[in-house]
Amino acid sequence: MSFADLPPLLAEALSARGYAAPTSVQAAVLQPEAAGRDLLVSAQTGSGKTVAFGLAMAEDLLKGEQMPFATTPLALIIAPTRELALQVSRELGWLYDAARARIATCVGGMDAGAERRRLSHGAHIVVGTPGRLRDHLERGALDLSNLRIAVLDEADEMLDMGFREDLEEILDATPPERRTLLFSATMPKPIEALARRYQRDALRISTVGEERGHGDIAYQAVTVAPSDIEGAVVNLLRFHDAESAMLFCATRDSVRRLHASLLERGFDAVALSGEHSQNERNQALQALRDRRARLCVATDVAARGINLPTLSLVIHVELPRDADTLQHRSGRTGRAGKKGTAVLIVPYQRRRRVEAMLRDARIPAEWVQPPSAADIAARDSERLLETLLAPAEYDDQDRALAARLIAERSVEDIAAALVHAHRAKLPAPEELVDRGERPDRRDEGPRAGFEDTVWFKINVGRRQNADPRWLLPLLCRRGHITKRDVGAIRIEAEQTLFEIPRQAAARFADALKRTAGEDREGDGGVLIVPAQGGPGAGPRGPRPGPRGDRPNRPNGPPRGGPRRDTRPARPKVKQK
């Protein structure tokens, strides 16, 4: 299908923007059976749905080749966020520019008085967020009595954000004969209920295939120790070296911390969260569009409606709450036929939950190790060689400077200096505690510095899913040591024993006392104490005492009688 059947002014606008053929959702709304009907459309973010409903509105708006005279709005588009509303307004602006359409945007954080003045002068199309539109409606500034078509963009997001009452009040103020187009990436029951109430004989259109994930997005999952999450973010950014990247966090505090950390390491990053004013948000988005910043650290809500054509990498620094959120976040990349990558950073104990989420989303993700410093150095070398060996034109000044350098230094020295200068500008990669390997130290012999050790024990074992991959970061965090200070590890049924060099044991024990009451990372229920038997018990650690001496397996009633489980509650950190 082509755009040949559209009004010439719309076809010309699309051609000027480089549109050669409609996307699947655009083709669907232009089919003859969709003409004049209410539409209930399932379409993913980035599928071209803004242009789709812009084209679908044409039959209700245009009178010949121009917009008719109107003192009140003919079309209303409701979007969940300021950014998305502004983006929709820009898209409709160039699409209907030749028709001389007057478009008014009404969003929170902007001058409400100026918006009311624009509405009073007459607007063919009004684009806004639910809260601001409701405010103008209640103040009498927005008259919807002559509305011909209403569009709800990303309706599922608006319901998730608590805008149901606003939407109902706005739609109740529109004429019953209007057309209603409802666009939503997902179709939960609340959306279907909204459609039944405000639509008549709606045509159901779905461009979401059986594979719910975007076909142009490659998904990866990286397992890390909880203490290595920030380091994994740094290494992923350095390894992929994306033109633009979006990093998602769950809270504004997490956004603030990660943003500050990335700036300190030398990354060009901006932040978006609920604590930023509209002016700060506009400045951050402009920095991304101008390429003055390449990274955006954001919360889910703050990032809705952002469209960056150069965005090729999405990193889920903190895991999304469900499969739909995963898709909304990841949909920031892989747009308009371009390829993108979405990476989930998964703490070891959360892997099973993430696997279930991916199954629910029908997304095939590749489980990989986080990039190491060696991996990043190799990728840097490839990129540098590709840049230097690419065809280029040099002027006489360039060649004169090159001749002077060759006269002073050897070609090898000049090339090495060039490589050094290039790498010096790049943020340093991080050394991760554990890159995904499963350490097993039961059969290791004494390492250097572990000839004289002190044994400690933890009140979790195999029955509590004890695993060195999360035990090592826990010991480092609680005992203020590094992984090099931990010797052999022996995991038993109800406890885990490990050794610390004698010269570090006192410092380790003091740190344990100071951190015993803390509940960071959900590990407050894990107890770490010196093990009975002292040093010299052999590389496999001291033998546990009799059953009655084990603190987390107390004696029960005699065999054959009723048995009550008196073991302590399993700590949160052990869950995987």
Tens digit of pLDDT for each residue in 257-281? 999 999 988 999 999 987 887 788 8
Q: Residue 455: which pLDDT band, with cuts at 50, 70 and 90?
A: very high
Across residues 524-552, what is the average pLDDT? 53
| β-pair type (489-491, 496-501) | antiparallel
| Cα 411 to Cα 403: distance, rounded to the nearest angstrom | 11
| Cα 419 to Cα 377: distance, rounded to the nearest angstrom | 11
Q: What are the angstrom distances between the C-alpha of 392 and each of 241, 369, 395, 422?
A: 22, 37, 10, 18
User: 3-state DSSP call for residue 499?
Assistant: strand
| Cα 73 to Cα 504: distance, rounded to the nearest angstrom | 74
DSSP state of 55: H
| Cα 157 to Cα 129: distance, rounded to the nearest angstrom | 12
Backbone angles phi, psi at 35, to 5 degrees: -65, 125
Alpha-helix residue ranges (DSSP H) falling in 45-182: 49-56, 58-61, 82-95, 112-120, 130-138, 155-160, 164-172
Across residues 391-403, what is the average pLDDT? 85
With b meaning 16 or more CB within 10 Å and e meaning fewer, what string describes 128-162?
bbbebbbbbbeeebbebeebbbbbbbbbbbbbbbe
Residue 97 CB-half CA count within 13 A: 12
What class, spelled out in words, does domain 217-374 have in CATH?
alpha beta
DSSP state of 161: T
The rounded mean pLDDT for the chain is: 82
CA 278, 280, 285, 290 dihedral sign is positive
Percent above pLDDT 70 for the chain: 85
* Residue 511, pLDDT score: 85
| CATH code assigned to 8-206 | 3.40.50.300
Percent above pLDDT 90 for the chain: 36
The distance from CA 462 to its chain's CA centroid, rounded to whole angstroms, is: 34
23-37, 210-224, 232-246, 539-553: least confident range? 539-553
The two structure tokens encoding residue 121: 């002068």
CATH of 453-574, one of 3.50.50.60, 3.40.309.10, 3.30.70.330, 3.40.50.12240: 3.30.70.330
Contact 10, 53 (CB under 8 A): no
The two structure tokens encoding residue 325: 């959120």
**Is pLDDT of 564 > 50?**
no
Query: In terms of pTM, does the model score above 0.75?
Result: no
**Is pLDDT of 169 > 90?**
yes
Residue 279 sits at the vertex; the CA angle it makes with 273 and 285, to the nearest 5 degrees, is 65
**Fold matches, 8-206 and 453-574:** no
The two structure tokens encoding residue 513: 């006392």
CA 275, 277, 280, 284 dihedral sign is positive
The two structure tokens encoding residue 44: 């993913």
Contact 227, 348 (CB under 8 A): no
Backbone angles phi, psi at 524, to 5 degrees: -65, -20
Contact 76, 86 (CB under 8 A): no
**Beta-sheet strands, E only, within 25-71:** 39-42
Q: Residue 443: which pLDDT band, with cuts at 50, 70 and 90?
A: very low
Tell which residue, 90, 79, 197, 73, has the closest CA to residue 144.
73
Question: For 541-547, which contacts have Cβ atoms below 8 Å and span 24 or more sequence positions?
Answer: 541/455, 541/488, 541/490, 541/497, 541/498, 541/499, 542/455, 542/497, 544/492, 544/495
| Cα 224 to Cα 233: distance, rounded to the nearest angstrom | 10
Q: pLDDT, tens digit, for every residue of 322-346?
A: 887 888 788 888 765 678 899 999 9
Across residues 11-26, what is the average pLDDT? 87
Q: For the beta carbon of residue 327, count every other beta carbon within 10 angstroms.
A: 22
* Residue 316, pLDDT score: 96
| Cα 255 to Cα 92: distance, rounded to the nearest angstrom | 32
Q: Which amino acid is at 568?
A: P
The domain segmentation of the chain, as residue ranges, is 8-206, 217-374, 453-574
Q: Residue 476: which pLDDT band, with cuts at 50, 70 and 90?
A: confident
User: 3-state DSSP call for residue 453?
Assistant: strand
The two structure tokens encoding residue 402: 């090159």
